[in-house]
Chain A
Amino acid sequence: MKKYLYTVVFVFMILTLSACGAENTKINIEELSADLISNVEFADEMTLINEKTVESLYNINYAISQQVYISSGATAEEVAVFELKDGNDADKALDAVNQRIETQKQDFKTYIPEEIPKLENAIVKKVGQYVIVCISDGDEVNEIINSYIE
């Protein structure tokens, strides 16, 4: 009986603590994306695009909010931060993001092959209900993202 009780208590505590973790992470996506744009080195001017345009590029129309900056076409550079309803939607968005990067690789392979390393080394992170993408040459990306999620 005692063993059973301890197991129940242990599971309950684990669930309580995990609920405090990733799912409850709050990220200010405007600040994070602006921080990335300002402090990571980009070769091109990055431009914030509107919701409908984001939908056409990423095929994501279920995000609570998003901040997406794109290049003029001169490079494959991109910054995208999505806030989703929950972890399940974030998994779905993560697939869509990876699909977008694959499409870009196909497009740039013949168009500007020099941009392929940026796409190969793209930083893509799912944190709770958020998906964060940064395509650049910059080294500071992980450091900046981590400062918002730790």
Chain B
Amino acid sequence: MNYDLYKSPSNGSSIALSRRRRYRKNRRRHQLRFLMIVIILSLMIFALFNVFSTFSSKHKKNIPVEKHPNNSLTVQDDQVLDADTSESVSDQPEEENIGGNDYSALVPMSETVDTSYFDDAVFIGDSRTEGFMLFTGLSNATAYTHKGLMVDTVFTNPVVNVGGKKISVMEALKKTSFSKVYIMLGINETGWPYSNLFIQKYGEIIDEIKNINPEAIIYVQSILPVSQKVSSSHSYVKNTKISEYNLLIQQMAEEKEIYYINSAESVATTDGYLPEEAASDGIHLKKDYCYKWLEYLKTHTANAK
């Protein structure tokens, strides 16, 4: 047996094999080194970017916020509204408590109730009541309010979202647990030609609420006045019409044995107008005046002990 002849090819292939192995080893080492360099580079880019963004955000923080010279908007942090932190209104008219169950009279001034008094209350109204609820942050009460809501659309317009479905205010009321109802409606109806139609529809709302919950305390509020400017220039929103409606609402309250609250008194000037500074458009109250209104409701309750 020629041993050399037998061995020589084997020797050649083993050398080639070890070369290939060394080559692969080297290549793997190179690849690993390359990958490490790339990862390190990426991390450096990431770090540099973060340093840069931190620097630029700090730089932005130092830019002073310029106030618009012609802008009277008030935007301080302490303006976050909370019903519990509102100051009491000192210019409330002094009245004697003549007993909460006299339907023939206005609900008189009474002891101030806590905000929790409204826990079981439902507020029904138009955009002004909507603003009242939003600005006073009276989130413990239920609000069935809508822009342009009227004594007839309370029954018909699907404006309340209940479980993803829109239903009318009166339908929503049937699904609600409540002990008190506060209503203010009428300003959008001042363009109606017949006042008796307005009060008839208003009366139907009261009857329906009594059907839904005979034990509920029902408060109807006087319609808040508008500013002198609006009253003299608007085509139909006039304080004379508002006063006429308020008289009808008070009479209806007496007939139906429910409570009438003269909320208008909380915001009106001595000559019966809404002060110019109370609303930018002479109709929708700013937050300060919403608080005056809330304080009035807290000091004019039918069953305050």
Given A34-B65, A38-B68, A74-B283, answer yes or no on A50-B147 (Cβ-Cβ < 8 Å).
no
Interface size on B, residues (CB 8 A): 50
Given A9-B38, A72-B286, A107-B146, answer yes or no on A31-B139 (Cβ-Cβ < 8 Å).
no
Contact of B81 with A50 in the complex, beta carbons under 8 Å:
yes
Given A52-B137, A107-B146, answer yes or no on A31-B35 (Cβ-Cβ < 8 Å).
no
B102 within 8 Å of A by Cβ? no
Per the bound structure, the CA–CA distance linking A55 and B50 in Å amounts to 34
Note all chain B residues with C-beta closer than 8 A to A20. Answer: 45-46, 49-50, 53
**How many A residues are at the interface, by size bracket?**
35 or more
Contact of A41 with B79 in the complex, beta carbons under 8 Å:
no
Contact of A19 with B46 in the complex, beta carbons under 8 Å:
yes
Note all chain B residues with C-beta closer than 8 A to A19. Answer: 46
Per the bound structure, the CA–CA distance linking A71 and B127 in Å amounts to 11
Per the bound structure, the CA–CA distance linking A150 and B89 in Å amounts to 47
Binding site for B on A (CB under 8 A): 1, 5, 9, 12-13, 16-17, 19-20, 24, 26, 28, 30-31, 33-35, 37-50, 52-53, 56-57, 69-75, 107-108, 110-111, 147-148
Note all chain B residues with C-beta closer than 8 A to A110. Answer: 148
Note all chain A residues with C-beta closer than 8 A to B43. Answer: 16
B204 within 8 Å of A by Cβ? no
Binding site for A on B (CB under 8 A): 31, 34-35, 38-39, 42-43, 45-46, 49-50, 53, 57, 60-61, 63, 65-68, 70-75, 77, 79-82, 127-128, 130-131, 134-135, 137, 139, 146-148, 279-281, 283-287
Given A20-B49, A73-B130, answer yes or no on A45-B73 (Cβ-Cβ < 8 Å).
yes
Interface pairs A-B: 6 shortest CB-CB: A74-B281, A73-B284, A72-B284, A20-B49, A73-B127, A52-B139
A48 touches which of B60, B81, B128 (Cβ 8 Å): B81
Contact of B57 with A26 in the complex, beta carbons under 8 Å:
yes
Note all chain B residues with C-beta closer than 8 A to A57. Answer: 134
Per the bound structure, the CA–CA distance linking A42 and B49 in Å amounts to 38
B42 touches which of A16, A34, A37 (Cβ 8 Å): A16
Note all chain B residues with C-beta closer than 8 A to A41. Answer: 68, 70-71
Note all chain B residues with C-beta closer than 8 A to A5. Answer: 31, 34-35
